[in-house]
Amino acid sequence: MALLQVDNLKKSFNNKTVLKGVNLQIDKGDVVAIIGPSGSGKTTFLKSINLLEQPDSGTLKLNDDQLDFSKVTPAEKLKIRRKIAMVFQNYALFKNKTALENITEGLIYGRNVSKDQATQRANKELAAVGLLDKQDFYPAQLSGGQQQRIGIARATALDPEIILFDEPTSALDPELVGTVVDDIDKLARNGQTMIVVTHLISFARRVANKVIFFEDGNVLAFGSPEDILDHPKNERIKQFLSAISKDH
């Protein structure tokens, strides 16, 4: 049985249709890379999965939980969100919280974990990304790379079924990209299910076992990294890949 199944997801903003009936099915342990041109709806799709955006219609199944986007209740939203975590392009750390508190916040107030247990867990996650000594630092006192690794620690501490990443490295200085990619790679090898929107083709090749090509609110292609990235059949994908490789 699929871990996550999304069917016919549609979303528009002020009469502009951004997602035109997207389907996706992923299994436990999958690492799915989403690539595609700017404005094609990748971020909107990711945010729809944990209902940061409210889709207009479609259905979602996560394990045994099922919901209809067109009539989702606040309680259902909360339930889904508490099984999914997200890592943001601009880190989105809570600026009024320390590194440690950024991680405990969701455990204490989103998962009802006791403060002591949450602190223990947060310390473990900080150690895993090598930032234990920064636990009392505020985001403003940390580099972009450090912030993003705390963003990742904040997500993994929640033991989510799935972690959604929206271009986790694109705001980073080039020399910091590697450490964050390594962190994500480590998660992949631990069997963490992830969906990663990225412009780094090399990263998609290295970490993902499935690749989705998004265009204009649709999934244009879905397959293994070899199929999509090395032997693309579609002209649009060939164009996109060659345009991107010129940038790097």
Ligand X SMILES: Nc1ncnc2c1ncn2[C@@H]1O[C@H](COP(=O)(O)OP(=O)(O)OP(=O)(O)O)[C@@H](O)[C@H]1O
User: Under the rule (CB under 5 A), what is the footprint of Mg ion?
Assistant: 43
Out of Mg ion, another protein, ligand X, none, what residue 105 binds, judged by CB under 5 to 8 A for its kind, is another protein
Nearest approach, Cβ of residue 91 and Mg ion (Å): 15
The tokens describing 211, both together, are 């690749």
Q: How far apart, in whole angstroms, are the C-alpha atoms of residue 214 and residue 184?
A: 22
Number of residues that bind another protein (CB under 8 A): 27
Q: Which letter does DSSP use for residue 210 in this model?
A: E
Cβ atoms of 138 and 91 within 8 Å: the answer is no
Q: How far apart, in whole angstroms, are the C-alpha atoms of residue 92 and residue 52?
A: 14
Burial 120-143 (b: 16+ CB within 10 A, else e): ebbbebbebbebeebbebbbeebe
Out of ligand X, another protein, Mg ion, none, what residue 148 binds, judged by CB under 5 to 8 A for its kind, is none
Query: 194 - beta bridge partners?
Result: 31, 163
**Residue facing Mg ion at closest CB distance:** 43
Strands 4-13 and 16-26 come out as antiparallel
Site string for ligand X, 44-63 (x = CB under 6 A): x-------------------
The tokens describing 142, both together, are 């940390």
Nearest approach, Cβ of residue 18 and ligand X (Å): 4
Cβ atoms of 59 and 139 within 8 Å: the answer is no
The piece of 11-19, 62-70, 74-82, 239-247 that touches another protein (CB under 8 A) is: 74-82
Helix (H, G, I), strand (E, B) or coil at 54: coil
Does 39 bind ligand X (CB under 6 A)? Our answer is yes
Does 114 bind another protein (CB under 8 A)? Our answer is no
Out of another protein, Mg ion, ligand X, none, what residue 2 binds, judged by CB under 5 to 8 A for its kind, is none
Please select the residue that binds another protein; options are 27, 109, 182, 191, rule is CB under 8 A: 109
Does 15 bind ligand X (CB under 6 A)? Our answer is no
Nearest approach, Cβ of residue 8 and ligand X (Å): 18
H/E run at residue 227: none
Does 38 bind ligand X (CB under 6 A)? Our answer is yes
Torsion of CA 216, 68, 63, 93, to 10 degrees: 60
Residues that bind another protein in the complex, under the rule CB under 8 A = 47, 50, 52, 74, 78, 81-82, 84-86, 88, 90, 92-97, 105-106, 109-111, 138, 140, 154, 158
Residue ranges that bind ligand X, judged by CB under 6 A: 13, 18, 38-44
